[in-house]
Amino acid sequence: MRIHIDRDRCEGHGQCAAVAERVLYLDDNAEPVPRFEGDVPEHLEEDARAAVSCCPVAALSAEAD
């Protein structure tokens, strides 16, 4: 699974990083940044799905392998 972030849609609410801090963090501009290049480790896929689900502006999406 990979996390995709639509930077144009993101408003920097930070809920994704709060819900899935092991998958995402916020940079200095309050924009989410994935902690992994490429695939999210399998044991963190549930966290990644939670981050996608909680985004109030649907700026995140997940793509299965």
pLDDT, residue 65, reads 75
Instruction: Say what the pLDDT of residue 11 is.
Output: 94
* pLDDT average, residue stretch 35-50: 95
Give domain 2-63's CATH number out of 3.30.70.3270, 3.90.79.10, 3.30.70.20, 3.40.50.450: 3.30.70.20
Domain parsing of the chain, residue ranges? 2-63
For residue 49, the model assigns a pLDDT of: 96
pLDDT at 14 over 90: yes
Smallest Cα–Cα separation from 64: which of 47, 40, 43, 44? 40
The confidence score (pLDDT) of residue 27 equals 95
- Give phi and psi for 47, each to the nearest 5: -60, -40
Matching residue, tokens 């695939």: 39
